[in-house]
Amino acid sequence: MTIPIFYSISDDFTKYAAVSLNSLVKHTDPNKDYTVYFLNQDLSSKHQKALSDLSSSNVHVKFFHIDNQLVQPIQNRKENFLRADFFTMSIFYRLFIPELFPEYDKVIYIDSDTIVNDDLAKLYNSELGDNLFAACTDSSIQYVDKMIKYIKNVLALDPKKYINSGMLVMNARAFRAEHFMTLLEKYHFDCIAPDQDYLNEIGEGRILHLNPRWDAMPNENTEPLTNPGLIHYNLFFKPWHFANVQYAQYFWDSAKQTQFFDELKNELNNYTDDERAADREKLDHMLAKEDKTEQDPNNWAKVKKREAVTL
């Protein structure tokens, strides 16, 4: 039996994904077998080789090309703009995994801006039951008033149960039975976090909430966890752009073991204060969308109330 693990990636994110993959490989159980898939549309052969070179005797690296026809339901429209700023197709790739890989009843998905500090086989062994997926509450937003307001008033969800989609243990068999992709074609909600909001809505009442150590996110309002199993450098404050990000040392410890270390160090050293200020403004820009979505007569909460929709 192999443990299937998926990333979604664009070519310009390869160096960060390589650091994540290296940490994943280092924490596998040598007595277990793992297959890591990179879902992509534009990954160069050079970068495919760089990732393949990180494989081991029990970790097999594969690539799956996402073609344009497959992602046709996902249009470049304003409601699918990531972080209220720009559109990127790669955030939606995870939604296609159950249909693309019918041989798997359960899969793990993790974002590329992560570091793995424990064996992901432990995650895979999560008993999902009838739940659609397992995930962790999004700790990065619990102290952000506008996000709490958005989750309550626009999504009509409990913020304490609102999960982050950067790490998922997916019940692929249940996803196939639910025909999840039809929701994306039927409902075009203007969202702050498009794929994540859809997952929270469809999963409401059917999400297994995991120990927060499996999606530890840098947070200036909380002390770092002492034993994070997986670190997710969520949102804009990346260790390759900011020097004092919480959990940054885990990233650099893994980066040193990859061919991209010097390039990543140069990126950090050459990132300007103006660029860091712009990153902080992106967060404010994302949160500013809350006012608009709350007034939208066709937001999640109002449509659910009006149509008694069960998502």
Return the closest-CA partner of residue 255 out of 271, 238, 270, 272: 238
Please compute the mean of the pLDDT values over residues 121-133 and round it to a whole number: 97
pLDDT (0 to 100) of residue 132: 95
Chain centroid to CA 284:
20
pLDDT band at 26 (very low <50, low <70, confident <90, very high): very high
What percent of the chain is predicted at pLDDT more than 90? 62
Return the closest-CA partner of residue 145 out of 295, 293, 287, 292: 287
Tokens of 118: 């424990």
Q: What sections of 53-154 are H helices per DSSP?
A: 97-100, 121-124, 145-153
Q: What sections of 105-224 are H helices per DSSP?
A: 121-124, 145-153, 172-178, 181-186, 194-203
**DSSP secondary structure code for residue 216 in this structure:** B
- The domain total for the chain is 1
- List residues bridging with 59 in a β-sheet: 34
Q: Is the pTM of this model over 0.85?
A: yes
| pLDDT tens track for 212-247 | 999 999 998 889 999 999 999 998 889 999 998 999
Q: What is the CATH number of the domain that holds 227?
A: 3.90.550.10
pLDDT (0 to 100) of residue 209: 98
pLDDT (0 to 100) of residue 298: 79
- Domain of residue 154 covers 2-307
Please compute the mean of the pLDDT values over residues 206-213 and round it to a whole number: 97
45, pLDDT greater than 60 = yes
| pLDDT tens track for 83-125 | 444 334 556 678 889 988 999 999 999 999 999 999 999 999 9
Q: Side chain identity at 40, as an amino acid letter?
A: N
pLDDT (0 to 100) of residue 182: 61
**DSSP secondary structure code for residue 193 in this structure:** S
User: pLDDT: is 67 or 57 the higher one?
Assistant: 57
